[in-house]
Structure 1
Amino acid sequence: MSIPVQSSAASIGSVDAQRVEDALSLIAPKWTTWSAQTLAQQGRPMRVRDVAARLPFVSEQLVGKRLAQMHADGLVTRADGRHGAPYQLSAFGESLSRVHRALSDWSQTNLSLGKVAGAERVEDAVRRLHLRHSTAVIQVLDAGGPMRFVHIAEEAGLDNGFTRQRLNRLQVDGLVARTGPRHGDPYVLTDAGRALGPVYAAVEHWSNPVATQGRSAPAAPVTAATRTHTGVPPGSDGIRTAAALRRSAAAPSTLFSHAPRPQPRVPAAITAQSAPSRGR
């Protein structure tokens, strides 16, 4: 069985794990990326109803709640500072385009999602990465190679039960695998896990207030491609999204999509033996 070599083109261990996770938590809530990219694409202040009109598969009430949270987190501002004024991206929010690009590039190279909207791809990537202490566990495995879970827990400073839970989730998300089928076999990073260095670096740089202070360059243009919905995630949110997109003539046909690339899977020799149940 082929085990991935434990090395990274960009150093996973050089980033501040808590800073990365704190930053990811700002963009982890569902529809944050969609809202940010809508504002970036339109390039003008927008009222809640205007943003919602561009996202007909999301309720206006939910769009309003998401924008309010983004305002509290400093990702958007109100055009003239008063309640009810239109929203626009702050300099901090505009600089998110670099993070979105890093997340999208990582996803396209390492995950097999099929053709999905670019914003959905970014949100899927953040969902896999944002949970507390996931970064620390990945750093331990990147530095130490194959390790048993008790040693991972010790190195990361976490209790055994939590570490096992986190490793199970990282396996489900394709970032970690077992070196064999037996109980007690060590854990190792998959190719997708080893490729996270540039993503972590982009997120940490974005979260640095010195790096982003005063940055007002417009967000990088997003390459448009025909939106397909085969990759809408399962669950009630995904079902509602797909249904709304099918019935709504208002949904734009090109929104936040990146040109598709070949998407190699996590090594089958590892995942076939190590995938746990989907229970969280």
Structure 2
Amino acid sequence: MSTTVQPSTASIGSVDAQRVEDALSLIAPKWTTWVVQTLAQEDRPMRVREVSAKLPFIGEQFLSKRLAQMHADGLVTRADNRWAPYQLSTSGESLSRVHGALSDWSQTTLSLGEVAGAERVEDAVRRLHLRHTTAVIQILDSGGPMRFSHLAEKAGLDQGTAPPRLRRLQADGLVARTGPRHGDPYVLTDAGRALGPIYAAVEHWSNPIATRKHSAPPALVTAAARTRTGVPLGSDGVRTAAALRRSAAAPSALFSHAPQPQPRVPSAVTAQSTPSRGR
């Protein structure tokens, strides 16, 4: 699955793992990237129904909840009025560098085929945002091949957490075993070793957010923390599925970062998307 890549000039071990994962948790919930890139492309305040018209495969009720959470997390802003339109905050606008790093990494190291750019970014974040992922990557980057028990101990994983976390990292193409036996050591894949630029971009983006959180009201910090699990689809899943059947396509120029597959996105969106680095 992994492709040989040039060694990263950014140090994986130099970043604050907790800060990186906290920042990734803000942009990990499904459809966040699509919304950010839609607002960036339109470059104007937009009401929920206007965003929904650009993203017909997302239920409007779910989209309203996602935008409300993004507002609580500081990614979008609006006037103090429930009917006021949304626009990207400074933090939301500055996500372009993070999206570019995620897209470049995905295109270079993963085999995803032709997919919409926002999907490529969301797929990459899905692989990276879970708790302890960054710590495991850092430990293997600095310590080389490592057996399960030693790796779990250094990463602070208990016996119940370690097996599923390492299985997930293997499934996501970030780590691999050196052999078929249960006790064979783990190593980073080429994709795992190439994460330096992403971690550097995410940490740089997170610095202003971390500063604001120290002085933010408790309610805002709590709202941000809730994004670790994202917003559950629940009954909105039915509306989203219906929207998929109704929709023909999203705007052809949308999501100019490299394209990516997600089951709920209409094929017409993928077909009209072209890989790009700009926004």
Q: TM-score range by the shorter chain?
A: 0.7 to 0.9
The 4+ residue runs of structure 1 with deviation greater than 3 A are 210-213, 237-247, 257-260
Deviation of the 1:244 alpha carbon: 5.1
Q: Shift in Å at residue 255 of structure 1?
A: 1.6
- 2:90 aligns to what? 91
Deviation of residue 60 (structure 1)? Answer: 0.5
SS in 1 for 2:121: helix
- What is the rounded CA distance, in whole Å, between the counterparts of 2:34 and 2:70 in structure 1? 12
Does 1:110 pair with 2:109? yes
Output the amino acid matched with 1:43: D
Deviation at 1:59, TM superposition (A): 0.6
Partner of 2:50: 50
Aligned to 1:165: 164
What do the CA deviations read for 1:4-36 (whole angstroms, capped 9, x no partner)?
89x743211100000000000000100000001
In 2 relative to 1, CA 257–244 (structure 1 residues): closer, same or farther, beyond 3 Å?
Answer: farther
C-alpha contact 1:19 1:204 (8 A) present in aligned 2: yes
Deviation at 1:84, TM superposition (A): 1.6
Contact between 1:102 and 1:202, CA under 8 Å: does it hold in 2?
A: yes
Normalised TM-score (structure 2): 0.77
**Alignment partners' CA distance in 2, 1:238 and 1:194:** 36
Partners of 2:91 and 2:209 within 8 A in 1: no
Distance in 2, matches of 1:99 and 1:48, equals 25
Q: How far off its partner does 1:210 sit? A: 7.8
Q: Which runs of 5+ in 1 are unaligned?
A: 214-236, 261-280
TM-score normalized by structure 1? 0.77
Task: Provide the secondary structure at the position in 1 that maps to 2:74.
Answer: coil
Secondary structure at the counterpart of residue 255 of structure 1: coil
Task: Name the aligned partner's letter for residue 123 of structure 2.
Answer: D
Q: Percent identity?
A: 81
> Which structure carries more relative contact order (alpha carbon 8 Å, separation 6+)?
2
2:274 equivalent in structure 1: none
Please say if residues 98 and 205 of structure 2, whose CA atoms lie closer than 8 Å, have aligned partners that are also in contact. Answer: yes
Change in CA separation of 1:94 and 1:188 when aligned onto 2, cut-off 3 Å = same
C-alpha distance in 2, partners of 1:259/1:30?
17
2:124 maps to: 125
How far off is 1:253 after superposition? 2.8
Which aligned pairs between 1:214-233 and structure 2 lie closer than 5 A?
none
- CA–CA separation in structure 2 for the residues paired with 1:147 and 1:210: 34
CA distance, structure 2, for counterparts of residue 156 and residue 211 of structure 1: 23
Alignment check: 8 A CA contact 1:118 1:257 kept: yes
Secondary structure in structure 1 of the residue aligned to 2:163? helix
Residue 151 of structure 1 corresponds to which residue in structure 2? 150
- The answer to whether structure 1 residue 10 and structure 2 residue 10 are counterparts is yes
- The alignment status of 1:69 with 2:69, answered yes or no, reads yes
Deviations 1:56-85 (A, max 9, x none): 00011011000000000000000x332220
Q: 1:57 aligns to what SS in structure 2?
A: coil
| AA partner of residue 20 (structure 1) | V
Relative to its length, the structure with more helix (as a share) is 2
